[in-house]
Structure 1
Amino acid sequence: MQTLYRRLLGLMPRIGVQVTDLGPGAAVVSRRGGPYRGIRADKDTWVLRRAREGTGAAAGGGSAVRLGDTGALLLTEDADGPDERRLQLAAAEYLCTQHVTAMLELYGVNCVFDVGANAGQYARRLRRLGYTGRIASFEPTSQTFARLEEAAADDPDWRVFRCGLGREETTAEIHTGWNTMNSLLPASDYGKGRYGRFAKADTEEIRVRRLDEVMAEVLDGLPAPRPYLKMDTQGYDLEVFAGGGERIAEFVGMQSEVAVLKLYEGSPGMGEAVAVYEAAGFGITGVYPVTREATTGRVIEFDCVMMRADAAPVP
């Protein structure tokens, strides 16, 4: 059964309040143009009210933290506080998506290449945050592609492709059963020590295409294309990037999951990957942690957002 907290979050968009769910017990809420109206709930949830100048926003039965001067609040349901590490990573995902959405708007992006789409989580987040342009999602495995196809069914400007992308046109065996971490690369010793799912050895044969070979199909009928490349391919991003050839220059921005601690054999380190992207003309605009070691606090992977400065609009 939903808590009153969860029900109230579901009702808030009806009164013009944007809600971004960060997972169990936490959410970010914001509204442009004006103060928050008083919203009351039973004592086992929270009471949200606009704070007076110089004071924090209060929430009975939980907490509300003002996020700088943005007008947004971070709400938590549990009075004892959620797991801080989990909350930090959820907040980083929220901030990354907000930043990406702002860059798409600033650079006039009208087509997002969503490579490593899984079930369409990334595309759905972009839609929730207001991106209305074309999306092309690539997912090679049969079961996950079926979920992606279903997610995109009612969105006429969201196209889905059942294939992976890489350095050359070929077929390959991808490791499956790793949920959101399916990869064309084998797990490293470090990865096996961290994730029990890597003990599974199931594979599936998939089609692999080059990025520059699919661009004409994806961009067909789009006037003055300004594409953005998002890659989340579990250690294979540089192979996807290499498959863009000279047409990489057409992308005004990109996003790659870069590794500090390698989960996959043969995957590049963060420094190597960023150097390749910078050599192609992209500059970092944001870096956000994706996963951490609970015992040491070390970041395992970052989402790295990069834009081509010479493609920015002239002020």
Structure 2
Amino acid sequence: MQTLYRRLLQLMPRLGVRVTDLAPGTALVSRRGRYSVKPAGKDAWLVSRDGSAGGWTSVPLGESGARLILGKASAADERKLQMAAAEYLGTQHVAAMLDLYGVNCVLDVGANRGQYAKRLRKHGYQGRIVSFEPTEEAFARLSEAAERDPQWQVHHCGLGREDTTAEIHVGWNTMNSLLPASDYGRDRYKRFHTTRTEEIRVRRLDAVLDEALDGIEDPRPFLKMDTQGYDLEVFAGAGERIADFVGLQSEVAVLRLYEGSPPMSEAVATYEDGGFEITGMYPVTREAATGRVVEFDVVMMRSKAVQ
């Protein structure tokens, strides 16, 4: 005897909708002819509109059980695909480290419009985020992004080696920097050809840490830095309080975009001297013509602090 559920599904086509069985107890109900379903591996289907599923390929990711669904355009652009995958995997790795080390406060230095914090939330991090952004336009967007999140604080300042004021190059979108562009940077990015500056407030990390951690019992902070060549200055401003951090993330340069920014080897060695060890490295940008990596996001944790 048919169940009422099955009888209703059989009735659907008469009402002008399409029913596609996916698995026992699971079906796709759509307007007739507008959606197609293509198998994408065991217990997985690709649902696409107007029959556009024909150009998609399902790729297994090793023995993880995960699969990557590629369209023709994405499969053809290796560099773009690699960058998108690196961003996703990097954020996923950070989220896993935050959980493993019991992080309950992320200091987001160089927050721009809050992109990093939003990605952490999407990957499940629910603890406190304290974001620092010095430029007027980006800070306004950051404040708007954080206003409905009670666990997300924002501060209108930059961080550096000393408490001071400074001129920052703006108009470079997500690449605003306290450092001038290098010759290589100007060759790579047209946005560096014109610039204006904005006066900002700069504070030391050790001067703002107590406020950032206020009210957290047994604080276990994580330091994220993306300051366009200025990360070591932020790190220096932590002084002895850097020992409070269980981990960090920094953008390190293989090919320097800014004058005076440290090479990757110097940055990593400095962080290692502070007691941190590499758990992951993910390319941020690559040259299309040569395939060379320009910058990496490096994730480092204090292994002795694991819970």
After superposition, give the CA deviation of every residue in 1:94-141 in whole Å (9 maximum; x if it has no partner): 111111000000000000000011101100000001000000011100
* Equivalence map 1:22-171=2 (5 Å): 36-42=43-49, 44-46=51-53, 60-78=54-72, 81-171=75-165
Matched position secondary structure for 1:130: coil
- Check if 1:264 corresponds to 2:258: yes
TM-score norm. by structure 1 comes to: 0.82
Equivalent residues of 2:175, 2:228 under 8 A apart: yes
Query: 1:21 maps to what in 2?
Result: none
From the two aligned structures, give the one with the greater strand fraction.
Answer: 2
Alignment partners' CA distance in 2, 1:201 and 1:253: 34
> Tell me, which stretches of 5 or more residues in structure 1 are unaligned?
1-14, 16-34, 47-59
The normalised TM-score by structure 2 is: 0.84
What letter matches 1:220 in structure 2? D
Deviation at 1:39, TM superposition (A): 4.7
2:188 corresponds to? 194
Q: CA deviation at 1:42?
A: 4.2
Amino acid at match of 1:188: S
1:214 has 2:214 as partner: no
Pair member with larger Rg:
2
Report the Cα distance in structure 1 between the residues aligned to 2:121 and 2:76, rounded to whole angstroms: 27
Q: In structure 2, how many angstroms separate the alpha carbons of the residues matched to 1:41 and 1:172?
A: 51
1:36 shift after superposition: 3.5
Paired residue type of 2:286: R
* 3-state SS, counterpart of residue 40 of structure 1: strand
Say yes or no: does 1:293 pair with 2:300: no
Q: Deviations along 1:63-104, whole A, 9 cap, x unmatched?
A: 221222223222223368341101101101111111100000
8 Å contact from structure 2 (residues 162, 237) kept in 1: yes
**SS of aligned partner of 1:108:** coil
Let me know the Cα RMSD of the aligned residues.
Answer: 1.6
| Number of aligned residue pairs | 268
